[in-house]
Structure 1
């Protein structure tokens, strides 16, 4: 099971191991046949549980997808936060700190191609609630970069310029498109190769020029 949907050690989740298996089963089914064609029967079969168990955890397939997407992105953001804090505590130069966070983001997705497919491709076919959640998640990524950028501009005013949220949104959108191309081509594991390009996009946005 992908660590992005492994709920075994989450004390807040009742029957976390089985719930995580259901989320993983949905991701696996969507990777094979798409969201629209996936049924509750497919999820139950892949997760090695009964349909009754699936319905005990989720009202329907859409609710299952929304939790899959939300939990996966929560874990990615937690990983990025930890990488940023570790890099800051280590006293790394600001460009290296940015690379640490972006590298953690891409590395986490690269390690879970099935969930990455579900979160980046299939969520777009799941209706207005999923699209609204996707926008909310994107806003959280933008907020994170804005927070980091503001801190770096305060720490290194001669090297880092303050930037507005719209510019950060444009940069995040470009990185997500870079990721999406890899995922759609079945090259999710190669996201590790794109860390430098993604970092350069953000560094170019922030660094002061003569």
Structure 2
């Protein structure tokens, strides 16, 4: 049995090892044996922290999503003009996703295949992003431009489109930063009030 003090370290080592294996061989080909070998621990330790490979994956994706939301929110200067804030948010989203391309692609393509847990994870992640964006637009620069709050449906279209564009770009050997300008323009167009 692991000690209480060592538990978070082993848990993090397992999550890190899982992400490394996903980046190298993909989610489907990663086994628990691969994870514990990379983490330099045992199956017993794995099962002390996670009931299954799927549970470990859900935890890894949930934590990565929460980190990404925090990084994006922190990257936006609340005093900048609203178009610049939109650019900063998109650039931070792309930078965060590019720093973990294997996990990002796996999150988009493999996450939904996890059944009920995967669908709930996707819904929770989308709600975190919707909440974050609406917090970002709840500022004077946006209100003065007549922007906000943005409908949940519109944000889902924006975020879903960005996710799919990311997946297609990475699968075709491109970089997410290749579509920065297009993403910024689409974001501004989607959140600009119609006259």
TM range (shorter): 0.7 to 0.9
Aligned length in residues: 190
Q: Does 1:117 align with 2:105?
A: yes
Contact 1:69 1:118 in 2 (8 A): no
In structure 2, distance between residues paired with 1:37 and 1:161? 43
Contact 2:22 2:30 in 1 (8 A): yes
Q: Does 1:80 align with 2:68?
A: no
Aligned with residue 41 of structure 2, among 44, 49, 54: 49
The verdict on how the C-alpha distance between 1:74 and 1:35 changes in structure 2, with shifts beyond 3 A counting, is same
The residue matched to 1:35 in structure 2 has which SS? coil
The structural deviation recorded for 1:145 is 2.0
In structure 2, distance between residues paired with 1:125 and 1:24? 21
* Matched residue, 2:96: 108
* Matched residue, 1:38: 30
Contact 1:58 1:64 in 2 (8 A): yes
Q: Deviations over 1:149-188 (max 9, x none)?
A: 343542323xx4764221222112111111111232343x
* Matched residue, 2:156: 169
The structural deviation recorded for 1:34 is 4.0
The verdict on how the C-alpha distance between 1:186 and 1:20 changes in structure 2, with shifts beyond 3 A counting, is farther
Aligned with residue 144 of structure 2, among 128, 131, 155: 155
In structure 1, distance between residues paired with 2:122 and 2:173? 21
The residue matched to 2:27 in structure 1 has which SS? coil
* Matched residue, 1:200: 185
The structural deviation recorded for 1:26 is 1.7
* Matched residue, 1:179: 166
Aligned with residue 191 of structure 1, among 172, 176, 184: 176
Contact 1:35 1:126 in 2 (8 A): no
In structure 2, distance between residues paired with 1:169 and 1:175? 10
The structural deviation recorded for 1:39 is 2.3
Question: Could you tell me the TM-score, scaled by structure 1's length?
Answer: 0.79
Contact 1:162 1:206 in 2 (8 A): no
RMSD: 2.3
Instruction: Extract unaligned runs of 5+ from structure 2.
Output: none
* Matched residue, 1:9: none
Q: Say which is worse superposed, 56-65 or 142-151, in terms of deviation.
A: 142-151
Question: Could you tell me the TM-score, scaled by structure 2's length?
Answer: 0.84
Contact 2:82 2:142 in 1 (8 A): no
The structural deviation recorded for 1:70 is 0.4
The verdict on how the C-alpha distance between 1:127 and 1:184 changes in structure 2, with shifts beyond 3 A counting, is farther
